[in-house]
């Protein structure tokens, strides 16, 4: 008989629920899982070293919870790759993975290609710009997958302070695109997903059987696309969300957030159409028109934001060949 308790109450956790790392290691061994942590990067030299060192020291050396730490890089112009390698991470250029495919560039591309080179049964994706990195960003997301039967995907949420200047933070105010764009859309068309506190958070973990079976948009829509596909294919009971307390990172300006919103909305409406919930014109625009104040005059700025996605990686022959021995 289905549990009548609301999803939010059953599937919302705090990272402290999983702070017994020895117990998580035991659960991982009982399940026979390997765990990979992936940092998608582009010019993250300022933060990547601390992220790798913190995760490696606590969750690979002290507690053998993480088997693999990797950086998938989009072609950084700074020393991101060199620093990551010096800190002990495995490092790949995204364009060098599956070189027979046309190269694409974007966070979703890095996450998708990570599945080909990483060996984990569970993959934890962590953004590489976190200034207050802590092991909870990894073990908190692993916890529901290891400890709660049926959970295959866990999503982070947290307070996101916003920078007032270089030294001061406003206690809250992050997640503007979530509250102004995707939460209203989810509330209208996918109310189940509106129960997720921060659907656009950049930290999440998934089992390989889920991640390899869904498409990955290469751009801003990756988080939205994942949630909709997982909901429609497996339902809300495979999803959990975990409060990680606080995340400090660099904030984007309003114009950048507008471009992000444009890409997310394109992804959302494509999903809406494919699910039969609404019809969306096939010739929808790819150009985002914005205006930038320069001195006393406004300059018209047009950015092309196309919706491109990779298919489920399980459909890629090279991936199937590489994984054949593991199946």
Mean pLDDT across the stretch 146-161? 94
pLDDT at 327: 54
Would you state the pLDDT for residue 326? 63
108 neighbors 216 (Cβ within 8 angstroms): yes
Distant-in-sequence, close-in-space partners of 71: CB < 8 Å, separation ≥ 6: 38, 39, 40, 41, 48, 52, 80, 81, 84, 89, 90, 91, 92, 128
For the chain, what is the mean pLDDT? 92
Angle between helical axes of 136-147 and 21-31 (0-180°, round to 10): 50
> 30-51, pLDDT tens digit by residue?
999 999 999 999 999 999 999 9
Confidence category of residue 2, pLDDT binned at 50, 70, 90: low
Please say if the pLDDT value at position 162 is more than 60.
no
Query: Structure pTM?
Result: 0.92
DSSP-assigned letters across all residues of 33-94: --EEEEEEESS-TTTHHHHHHHHHIIIIIISTT-SEEEEEES--SSSHHHHHHHTT-EEEEG
Token readout for 145 is 């997958």
Higher pLDDT pick, 151 / 176: 151
d(CA 319, CA 282): 31
Under 8 Å between Cβ of 238 and 153? yes
Task: Count CB neighbours of 42 within 10 A.
Answer: 18
Residue 165 has pLDDT above 50, yes or no: no
Report pLDDT for 309. 95
Residue 241 CA to residue 229 CA, distance in Å, equals 17
Task: Give the pLDDT confidence score for residue 279 in this predicted structure.
Answer: 77
The tokens 């919870």 sit on which residue? 65
Domains annotated on the chain, with CATH? 7-322 (3.90.550.10)
Residue 41: alpha-carbon gap to chain centroid: 12
Q: Which two tokens stand for residue 290?
A: 């914005």
Q: Residue 172 pLDDT more than 90?
A: no
Return d(Cα 14, Cα 141) in angstroms, integer.
10
Q: What's the per-residue H, E or C state across 156-177?
A: EEEECEEECCCCCEEEEECCHH
Residue pLDDT, tens place only, 222-272: 999 999 999 999 999 999 999 999 998 666 788 989 999 999 999 999 999
């Amino acid at each position: 008989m289905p549990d009548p308790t609301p999803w939010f109450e059953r599937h919302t956790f705090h990272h402290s629920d999983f702070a017994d790392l020895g117990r998580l290691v035991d659960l991982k061994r009982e399940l026979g899982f390997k765990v990979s942590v992936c940092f998608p990067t582009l010019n993250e030299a300022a933060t990547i070293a601390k992220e790798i060192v913190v995760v490696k020291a606590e969750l690979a050396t002290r507690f053998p919870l993480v088997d693999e730490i990797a950086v998938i890089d989009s072609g950084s112009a700074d020393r991101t790759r060199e620093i990551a390698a010096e800190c002990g991470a495995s490092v790949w250029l995204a364009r060098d993975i599956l070189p027979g495919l046309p190269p694409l560039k974007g966070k979703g591309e890095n996450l998708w290609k990570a599945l080909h080179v990483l060996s984990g049964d569970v993959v934890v994706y962590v953004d590489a710009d976190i200034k207050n990195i802590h092991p909870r960003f990894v073990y908190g997301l692993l916890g529901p997958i290891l400890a709660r039967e049926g959970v295959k995907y866990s999503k982070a949420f947290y307070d996101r302070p916003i920078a007032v200047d270089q030294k001061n933070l406003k206690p809250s105010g992050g997640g503007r695109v979530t509250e102004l764009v995707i939460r209203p859309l989810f509330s209208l068309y996918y109310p189940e997903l509106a129960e997720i506190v921060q659907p656009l958070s950049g930290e999440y973990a998934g089992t390989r059987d889920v991640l390899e079976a869904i498409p990955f948009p290469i751009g801003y829509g990756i988080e939205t696309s994942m949630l909709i596909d997982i909901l429609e294919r497996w339902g809300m009971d495979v999803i959990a969300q975990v409060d990680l307390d606080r995340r400090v990172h660099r904030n984007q300006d309003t114009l950048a957030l507008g471009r992000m919103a444009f890409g997310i909305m394109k992804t959302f409406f494509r999903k809406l159409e494919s699910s039969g919930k609404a019809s969306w014109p096939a010739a929808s625009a790819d150009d985002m028109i914005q205006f930038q104040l320069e001195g006393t005059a406004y300059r018209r700025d047009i950015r092309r934001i196309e919706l491109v996605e990779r298919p489920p990686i399980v459909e890629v022959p090279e991936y199937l060949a590489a994984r054949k021995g593991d199946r």
